[in-house]
């Protein structure tokens, strides 16, 4: 991928599911050569995941090369060392201690390649009393504070319907890898990037901890609103609903005029951010009575005319049909050997000079054994056949 900002860099991806592989996806999207190691015969569990049809691996495995390797055997571990010697990054999301058990900890690998950057994603991080615990994204979301405030106030904590904790940890891992890469440019030496799921979630918790430590305030579940931020909510229309965010003072003035009630912007109950927050429920009811008299499209047209942020709540069909998505190429259609019309999200963020791209969907298991073992590591066909017969590759 000549136009990827990370072209020329090689990442060895170990582990499976989401928290590690999504980091590999991000780096592959921007041009890194990602060599994904999978267990022989079975592969990454993501190959069987998805809602209805198992298509998830086609997305998270995109732009990657798949090789099979038995990491529990010494010969498999020796092959990892050979790969690490020729690579810039090694990414893993096993339970802490697993890599060390295999003789593949950073202390050992850095002796082989002092420039290697080791990216480690786990539930609780590589140190601390919980480090050895098994950790999934859902647990990290709970311990990091996100689950408690997600959902309606009269119901138990909810979730976003996506693996947010895993994806956040993977994104921070990718960010950390870029920081470590800059450090390597300066010093010539690699280091360990330690991304914990619960800490990645915690990093996005805004001022919730400070609010408690200073004032004893604990944020609670509030459904579709943020307390004291008004107006910003989902409002009913005659044929559905729309989301409007008019909470900034200047925007609220335009919104009041848009509603044909400019006096609301001067009303003491709504004139300031603090006042609107104190009267949030009353204000939302008032706006809802107005939006109910219009269709969703009429509300959206008025909001666009008056510079008030608003939008529909999209599902996949609306994304695919939206002209803005199309104009920015936010979605990409790929060839798939089993399925027609395979559409998925494109690369983000967009870089002006080195945009990256999606060159391939998730590959078949072991599709690149020959090119990696044969060409990169120089194994002859007889050696490869012997290793395959013995279940090493």
Q: What percent of the chain has pLDDT over 90?
A: 96
Dihedral angle sign, alpha carbons of residues 19, 70, 11, 116: positive
Indicate whether 273 and 306 sit together in one domain: yes
pLDDT for the residue 101: 97
The answer on pLDDT for 189 being more than 90 is yes
Domain holding 272, by residue range, is 232-311
Comparing CA positions, the residue from 202, 194, 96 lying closest to residue 141 is: 202
Domain count across the chain: 2
Indicate whether 192 and 290 sit together in one domain: no
Indicate whether 267 and 158 sit together in one domain: no
CA–CA distance from 329 to each of 85, 311, 353, 354, 379 (Å)? 37, 19, 16, 15, 41
Q: Are 24 and 92 in contact (CB under 8 A)?
A: no
Indicate whether 72 and 178 sit together in one domain: yes
Which of residues 311, 342, 357 is at a domain's end? 311
Which of residues 311, 342, 373 is at a domain's end? 311
If you search the block for the tokens 């904790």, which residue do you land on? 165
Q: Give catalytic status of residue 166 as yes or no.
A: yes
Catalytic residue among 29, 44, 88, 166: 166
pLDDT in tens, 259-279: 999 999 999 999 999 999 999
pLDDT in tens, 243-257: 999 999 999 999 999
| Any domain includes 211 | no
Q: Please give the structure tokens belonging to residue 327.
A: 């104009």
Task: Give the mean pLDDT of 208-232.
Answer: 96
Task: Give the mean pLDDT of 373-380.
Answer: 96
Q: Are 117 and 177 in contact (CB under 8 A)?
A: yes
Indicate whether 85 and 137 sit together in one domain: yes
| Any domain includes 227 | no
Indicate whether 344 and 289 sit together in one domain: no
Indicate whether 266 and 374 sit together in one domain: no
Indicate whether 26 and 175 sit together in one domain: yes
Indicate whether 267 and 181 sit together in one domain: no
CATH of residue 39: 3.40.50.10540
Which of residues 279, 311, 343 is at a domain's end? 311
| Residue 224: pLDDT band with limits 50, 70, 90 | very high
Indicate whether 354 and 246 sit together in one domain: no
Indicate whether 67 and 21 sit together in one domain: yes
């Amino acid at each position: 991928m000549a136009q990827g900002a990370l072209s020329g860099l090689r990442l060895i991806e170990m582990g499976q599911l989401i928290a590690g592989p999504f980091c590999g996806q991000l780096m592959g999207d921007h041009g890194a050569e990602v060599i994904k190691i999978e267990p022989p015969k079975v592969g990454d569990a993501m190959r069987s995941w998805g809602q209805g049809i198992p298509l998830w691996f086609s997305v998270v495995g995109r732009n990657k090369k798949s090789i099979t390797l038995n990491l529990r055997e010494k010969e498999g571990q020796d092959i990892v060392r050979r790969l690490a010697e020729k690579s810039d990054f090694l990414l893993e999301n096993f339970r802490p201690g697993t890599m060390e058990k295999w003789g593949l900890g950073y202390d050992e690998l850095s002796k082989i390649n002092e420039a290697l950057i080791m990216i480690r994603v786990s539930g609780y991080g590589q140190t601390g009393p919980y480090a050895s615990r098994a950790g999934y994204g859902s647990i990290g979301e709970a311990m990091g504070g996100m689950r408690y405030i997600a959902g309606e106030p009269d119901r138990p904590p909810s979730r976003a319907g996506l693996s947010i904790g895993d994806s956040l940890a993977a994104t921070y891992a990718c960010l950390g890898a870029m920081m470590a890469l800059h450090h390597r440019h300066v010093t010539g030496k690699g280091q360990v990037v330690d991304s914990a799921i619960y800490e990645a979630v915690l990093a996005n918790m805004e001022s919730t901890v400070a609010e408690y430590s200073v004032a004893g305030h604990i944020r609670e579940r509030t459904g579709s609103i943020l307390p004291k931020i008004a107006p910003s909510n989902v409002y009913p229309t005659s044929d559905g609903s729309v989301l409007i965010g008019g909470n900034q003072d200047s925007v609220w003035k335009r919104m009041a005029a848009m509603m044909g009630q400019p006096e609301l912007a001067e009303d003491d109950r709504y004139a300031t951010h603090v006042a609107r927050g104190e009267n949030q429920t009353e204000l939302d009811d008032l706006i809802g009575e107005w939006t109910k008299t219009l269709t969703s499209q009429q509300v959206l047209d008025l909001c666009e005319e008056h510079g008030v942020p608003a939008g529909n709540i999209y599902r996949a069909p609306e994304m695919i049909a939206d002209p803005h998505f199309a104009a920015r190429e936010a979605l990409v259609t790929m060839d798939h050997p089993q399925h027609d019309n395979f559409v998925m999200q494109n690369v983000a963020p967009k870089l002006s000079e080195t945009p990256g791209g999606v060159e391939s969907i998730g590959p078949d298991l072991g599709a690149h054994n020959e090119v990696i073992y044969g060409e990169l590591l120089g194994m002859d066909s007889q050696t490869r056949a012997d290793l395959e017969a013995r279940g090493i590759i």
